[in-house]
Amino acid sequence: MKIKSTLSLLLAGLLTAGTASAGGELNFYNWGNYTNPELLEKFTEETGITVNLDGYDSNETMLAKIKAGGHGYDLAVPSDYAVMMMKEEGLIVPAHVNKMPNFKYVHPDHIDVYFDKGREYGAPWQWGTTGISLNTKHYDGPKANSWALVFDPPEVLKGKINMVSEMGDVLNAGLFYLGLPTCNSNKADLKKLNTLLTESKKNWASIDYGVIEKLTSEDVYASHNWNGASMRARLQNPEIRYVMPKEGLMAWADNVVLLRDARNVEEAKTFLNFIMHPENAAMISNFARYGNAIVGSAEYMDPEMSKAPEIIGYEGAGTPQFVPPCPQDVVAMYTKIWNNLLK
């Protein structure tokens, strides 16, 4: 069955913690609108540790700030490929997540992941896919299961499309649509990609992280989007549907990692252990509406999560796939295309 196979593909792709402290603080750098405030309140109540939260809109923004130094953060939440990049560049250090008491709750499929074998570095946060949110009140025609919605849109969608502000997500969406390989260094292929993006941009209203608000206000009728954000939009407007394009789409897994220059190390480790408890993992998912990697969390999850098409997939959905970090020469070419697109 397609629904089960989609979920299986996502799952397959993928201590000593400080004890509760009487006081202290923690500086947490996470994607915007992705952290349940009630989770942080609960953590502070149980540990006495205050969490200072700051946000970003893409892995690229986060990486640039961490590389620059002087940021003051203890923990960040890179996606799978970005974890590998941060390991290779020495931006993170092993937190020995696999030795923490609550590691026993991590699903076996999420332990020997390609980006962090055995989970020395990162605790799982959430996982999902990047597809399209479509307001079916305005369009539900023959292109409604394809990346053509954003790259060759019907007339009604022109000028009413948003793309997320994440380089990898946007460029890989274009490669999926063109039927070309990801991590692609072929100059002819990249020329096609550059042309596709620059021509498609003429039909876009924006390239922006604030997707939920744009969809629910109907500033846009379609948006490149993450599945959980699409579910949050649907809960406000039932005519919004999550599209998993037939050409294929990205899968991803976000992880909480300990930064090399963290000052509040024991507090950070306490938080890493905390988020792997089933009740707390459910709080994370119930807020942002993504799947998590914690066994036993379903007991605490909102009932609609278990049947949401954004999470479990649907008949005819495209196949999600993880895209590991590309070689530096490819990243350089991608960055050139991305910067050209943002002009």
| Residues 284 and 272 sit within 8 Å (Cβ to Cβ) | no
What six digits make up the tokens of 31? Answer: 């994607």
pTM over 0.85: yes
CA 62 to CA 207: how far, in whole Å? 17
pLDDT in tens, 292-323: 999 999 999 999 999 999 999 999 999 999 99
pLDDT at 14 over 90: no
| Residues 278 and 296 sit within 8 Å (Cβ to Cβ) | yes
Q: What is the mean pLDDT of residues 206-225?
A: 97
For residue 17, the model assigns a pLDDT of: 37
pLDDT in tens, 239-296: 999 999 999 999 999 999 999 999 999 999 999 999 999 999 999 999 999 999 999 9
**Is the four-CA dihedral 288, 293, 297, 302 of positive or negative sign?**
positive
CA 214 to CA 234: how far, in whole Å? 12
- Strand-pairing partners, residue 135, are 240
CA 84 to CA 214: how far, in whole Å? 32
Beta pairing, strands 249-258 & 122-135: antiparallel
| Residues 8 and 249 sit within 8 Å (Cβ to Cβ) | no
CATH 1.10.1370.30 applies to domain 130-250+314-342: no
pLDDT in tens, 49-98: 999 999 999 999 999 999 999 999 999 999 999 999 999 999 999 999 99
CATH 1.20.1200.10 applies to domain 15-127+252-312: no
**Is the four-CA dihedral 33, 38, 41, 47 of positive or negative sign?**
negative
| Residues 84 and 257 sit within 8 Å (Cβ to Cβ) | no
Run of H or E residues at 222: strand 222-226
Helix (H, G, I), strand (E, B) or coil at 206: strand
pLDDT at 217 over 60: yes
pLDDT at 45 over 50: yes
- Indicate the domain borders of the chain: 15-127+252-312, 130-250+314-342
Distance of CA 245 to the CA centre of its chain: 17
Helix (H, G, I), strand (E, B) or coil at 65: helix
CA 280 to CA 274: how far, in whole Å? 7
Q: Are 15-127+252-312 and 130-250+314-342 the same fold in CATH?
A: yes
CA 93 to CA 261: how far, in whole Å? 9
CA 311 to CA 320: how far, in whole Å? 12
Using pLDDT thresholds of 50, 70 and 90, give the confidence band for residue 23.
confident
